[in-house]
Structure 1
Amino acid sequence: MLDSCRNMTLACALSALAGYLDGIGYLHLGGLFVSFMSGNSTRLGVSLAEAHWFAAAQTIGVIVTFVIGAAAGSLIALGRGGRRQTWLLLTEALLLIGSALAYTFGWPTVAVGAIVFAMGLENAVFEVRGGAALGLTYVTGALVKAGQLLGAALTGSASWEWLPNLLLWAALVLGSTTGALAYLHLNLSAVWFAAAAAVVLTAIVAAWDK
């Protein structure tokens, strides 16, 4: 899925967008992630062990919303018709605009819910039939793949094939740093920049799909 310059560029841009929103969500939710459900699953287990029921319920809500978003993304990606990436990105952009508007009107919980839903949906951008997809909002798999391919490179094969996966990780880190800085200055209003970026990406992909 990272076998072309176009796919690599889009994947890194979306990973950076996910990192940006995760940086915002992490600070706003006090340690919960809006896109990294492995971390939230660990947080859930710890909350249950410590009998912190409200924190556990909040974490479950985030995880369920993410899964529903992923299911919705899959329905779009695997449905009939063309321009599936365009429709997915347009839906994500509208969700982020809705999130920013919800915060503006004093509904921060709705705003966060829309972000989490959008993050689940985003992972379907590179989905193919059979359910295989490139994870864009989490990079554990990308780091494992980078390490495996780096090991192969040291044996004389796949010399640079590890680099795209490392770039995917770097994009998410850069995005999360930017998102955290934006949140510290703008609170959830920082989502407007993510919404604008999603609109731009939608327009670019729509042009590619012609």
Structure 2
Amino acid sequence: MTIQRRRRLIKRQRSSVGLALVAAISFLAGMTDAMGLMSLGDFVSFMSGNTTRASVALIQADVARGVLLIGGLSTFVIGNAVGVMVSIRFRPHSVLLFVSVLLACAALLADRREMQFLLLILAMGAINASVEQIEGLPVGLTYVTGALSRFGRGLGRWVMGIRNTHWVIQIVPWLGMMAGAISGAALVQEIGSLALWIPSAAALLLTAVAIQIPRRWQSRFIQHR
């Protein structure tokens, strides 16, 4: 086997592992968002939706809800920042462990809805730092508007004769989030607030899986600048 062929094989394997991890994390994000929406009445990972909801709440003089939602937006930003810090200081899989702890804390606070809401948002912000790109192509984990937009633009270029098919991977996080949201909604209907323990356990399981990924490969899934 030539060096060039071996490099292509490794790249293909690394991409497959990265996409599987993206799908699993997006599944977790979709599950958590559905549970948050059904249990708390607002999104915990879809900040575009919460931005609109906060604006409407303020216009309707529902100041308490508007302030809470704006606090959630700030918490999401902080979660992303902390996730990157954890990823740089330790390793990307450490972000998943951190998220698992946050989700467990949120599940413990079933009687303190505002704190639970903010902890879930903090976790969903942080989880974005676990995988940021696949072979240089950006991917979103807790939101799919950008992924669908990139998929649509890639489709348009393909129709116009530009045969680059890298855009196809953008459907992966959407599929993961859709499947996760369906599962999360079903779980809340079946077991109520206890369902929030399941994302924590899932994040812990993902941590165990991600630990097995070679350090060199993990470093290719995050941005260094």
What TM-score, normalized to structure 1? 0.86
The structural deviation recorded for 1:183 is 1.2
Q: Which residue is 1:24 aligned to?
A: 35
Aligned partners of 2:140 and 2:173 also within 8 Å: no
Structure 2 portions without partners, runs of 5+: 1-11, 216-225
The structural deviation recorded for 1:88 is 0.6
- Deviation track 1:36-85 (CA, whole Å, cap 9, x = no partner) reads 11110011111111111122022112212212211111212233x5xx21
Aligned partners of 1:124 and 1:133 also within 8 Å: no
2:103 pairs with 96, 102, 105, which one?
96
Aligned partners of 1:34 and 1:119 also within 8 Å: yes
What TM-score, normalized to structure 2? 0.81
Q: Which residue is 2:213 aligned to?
A: 208
- Which of the pair has more CA radius of gyration? 2
What letter corresponds to residue 166 of structure 1 in structure 2? I
Q: Which residue is 2:53 aligned to?
A: 43
The structural deviation recorded for 1:187 is 2.2
Structure 1 portions without partners, runs of 5+: none
The structural deviation recorded for 1:133 is 6.1
Q: Which residue is 2:222 aligned to?
A: none
Q: Partners of 2:139 and 2:164 in 1: how far apart?
A: 22
- Deviation track 1:94-142 (CA, whole Å, cap 9, x = no partner) reads 1112222333xx44443332211110001111248xxx96321001110
The percentage of counterpart residues that share the same residue type is: 36
Count of residue correspondences:
200
Runs of 4+ aligned residues of structure 1 deviating over 6 Å after TM superposition are none
Q: Equivalences for 1:61-72 in 2 at 5 Å? A: 61-72=71-82
The structural deviation recorded for 1:184 is 1.9
The structural deviation recorded for 1:160 is 3.7
Bigger CA drift: 106-115 or 134-143? 106-115
Is 1:87 matched with 2:87?
Answer: no
Is 1:163 matched with 2:173?
Answer: no
What letter corresponds to residue 99 of structure 1 in structure 2? A
